[in-house]
């Protein structure tokens, strides 16, 4: 089988989601890790003209946009299938993928978890007061997701879907700061879902630490607290 | 067939895209138009808890996220199909849908066309200098799309796909200001694609003017130029 290639920066939720799907599919792939900042290099801009990570290739077919890659993988490697056969369950999957892109990315990861939990690790100064002011909006996003999850095992029912694999890299970072941990604990069914997801070998194979270890990419110097 | 319901504000590209797909599918639907501002009403927040438009229903199934609705429609009303059967063409469709959400929405419609071409019609003051400073970034987005379009009839080949229907409401607004018209004219293949799209009855049935006419929704008073 032709190798799948993911190019991106270890630690990004948008890099981890495709790696998770590849691990879950059990297909051969290569992760071309680049260091933080290299997404603006001329070489990388040839893969993704907006300088956003990740970018993808499969043989001579090169493209980008994480959702496009996840859906492509589910088409060209049909088993195990991560798109529900039932049209309503598939629509919930697409809705939750949309919620991840439209609200979790900005209001949870961007506004709260990155500045409070991750920025220091990357040597990036962050406005912690603004991040704390954003906590109610982040809590609202998580409450909406927790309501859609309900008492199901996975976001769209009894089986894993692309929505779980798209969302979990964001939720897995919540415990990186006390405020994020508190947000998670406020939604017990979401916390239980995260624990179930964390038990999967795919999650362990794609953690920030593991990717740094296997790729040899160096972290920037941390900033003083 | 159970009626599809779209709730939203006439004029929004994210309301027009689902209406376009419904028109192209030729299925019965109802457009529940709400006036500008009503997306923050308690009634609407029960349909879409983030106060963004549109929201959808099909029988007792209620959901939101425009991509989710477009994909759902293509599953439950399979003909005419707007998702290419070829996996690479489908990935290009998903990539272009992603480019629409991630770059066209913000860098073209949000940063340029809305403030320069539409805000006055809605009675909203806008920073026109900031919009003019954003023109190069908007031009870049359009150049990337024009390159992906190439000499094809539609964005992903010879047949219409969800990508065309997701993107065209944004591009159709470019001529609403001279700066947007110039952006469009700089990409002749994209301008020709827009002309082909504008010739479709679905585009005429879903224009801002037509929706205002058929729904009786009133526009706010224009602000003085």
pLDDT of residue A1: 74
| Same domain membership, residue A64 and residue A36 | yes
| Same domain membership, residue A50 and residue A94 | no
A172 domain residue, yes or no: yes
Give the residue numbers spanning the domain of A12: 4-81+205-215
B221 domain residue, yes or no: no
pLDDT of residue B217: 86
DSSP string, A28-92: -EEEEE--TTGGGSHHHHHH-TT--S-EEEETTEEEE-HHHHHHHHHHHS-SS--S-SSHHHHHH
What phi and psi values does residue B157 have, to the nearest 5 degrees?
Answer: 140, -145
| Same domain membership, residue B76 and residue B123 | no
Confidence check: pLDDT of B224 > 90: no
A123 domain residue, yes or no: yes
CATH of the domain at B193: 1.20.1050.10
Tell me the residues of chain B between 25 and 84 that have a Cβ less than 8 Å away from chain A.
Answer: 49-50, 52, 61, 63-69, 71-72, 75-76
| Same domain membership, residue B184 and residue B171 | yes
A18 domain residue, yes or no: yes
| Same domain membership, residue B186 and residue B92 | yes
| Same domain membership, residue A95 and residue A38 | no
CATH of the domain at B54: 3.40.30.10
The answer to whether residues B67 and B82 touch, using CB atoms and an 8 Å cutoff, is: no
Q: What is the mean pLDDT of residues B52-56?
A: 98
Q: What is the mean pLDDT of residues B45-49?
A: 98
Give the distance, in angstroms, between the CA of residue A213 and the centroid of all CA atoms in the same chain. 19
The answer to whether residues A90 and A84 touch, using CB atoms and an 8 Å cutoff, is: yes
Q: How confident is the model at residue B97 (pLDDT cuts 50, 70, 90)?
A: very high
CA distance B163 to A53: 21
For A170-217, write each residue's pLDDT tens digit.
Answer: 999 999 999 999 999 999 999 999 999 999 999 999 999 999 999 988
pLDDT of residue A223: 55
Confidence check: pLDDT of B222 > 90: no
Q: Given an 8 Å threshold on Cβ–Cβ distance, is B102 in contact with A72?
A: no
Structural domain count of chain B? 2
What residue of B is the nearest CA neighbor of A138?
A: B50
| Same domain membership, residue B189 and residue B127 | yes
Q: Given an 8 Å threshold on Cβ–Cβ distance, is A68 in contact with B102?
A: no
The answer to whether residues B7 and B14 touch, using CB atoms and an 8 Å cutoff, is: no
| Same domain membership, residue A51 and residue A155 | no
A8 domain residue, yes or no: yes
| Same domain membership, residue B196 and residue B152 | yes
The closest of B179, B98, B197, B95 to B139, measured between CA atoms, is: B179
The answer to whether residues B53 and A83 touch, using CB atoms and an 8 Å cutoff, is: no
Give the distance, in angstroms, between the CA of residue B24 and the centroid of all CA atoms in the same chain. 14
Q: Given an 8 Å threshold on Cβ–Cβ distance, is B72 in contact with A90?
A: yes
ipTM of the complex: 0.96
| Same domain membership, residue A195 and residue A211 | no
| Same domain membership, residue B77 and residue B95 | no
| Same domain membership, residue B116 and residue B95 | yes
CA distance A222 to A77: 40
A37 domain residue, yes or no: yes
């Amino acid at each position: 089988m032709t190798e799948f290639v993911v190019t991106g920066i270890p630690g990004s939720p948008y890099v981890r989601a495709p790696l998770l799907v590849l691990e879950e599919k059990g297909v051969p792939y290569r992760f071309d890790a680049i260091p933080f900042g290299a997404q603006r290099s001329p070489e990388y801009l040839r893969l993704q003209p907006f300088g956003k990570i990740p970018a993808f290739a499969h043989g001579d077919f090169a493209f980008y946009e994480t959702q496009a890659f996840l859906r492509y993988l589910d088409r060209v490697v049909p088993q195990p299938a991560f798109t529900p056969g039932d049209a309503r369950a598939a629509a919930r999957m697409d809705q939750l993928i949309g919620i991840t892109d439209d609200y979790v990315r900005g209001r949870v990861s961007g506004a709260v978890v990155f500045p409070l939990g991750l920025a220091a690790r990357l040597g990036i100064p962050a406005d912690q007061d603004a991040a704390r002011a954003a906590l109610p909006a982040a809590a609202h996003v998580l409450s909406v997701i927790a309501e859609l999850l309900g008492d199901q095992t996975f976001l769209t029912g009894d089986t894993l879907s692309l929505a779980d694999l798209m969302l979990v890299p964001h939720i897995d970072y919540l415990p990186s700061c006390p405020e994020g941990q508190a947000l998670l604990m406020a939604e017990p069914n979401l916390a239980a879902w995260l624990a179930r997801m964390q038990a999967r070998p795919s999650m362990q194979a794609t953690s920030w630490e593991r990717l740094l270890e296997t790729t040899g990419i160096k972290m920037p110097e941390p900033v003083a607290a």
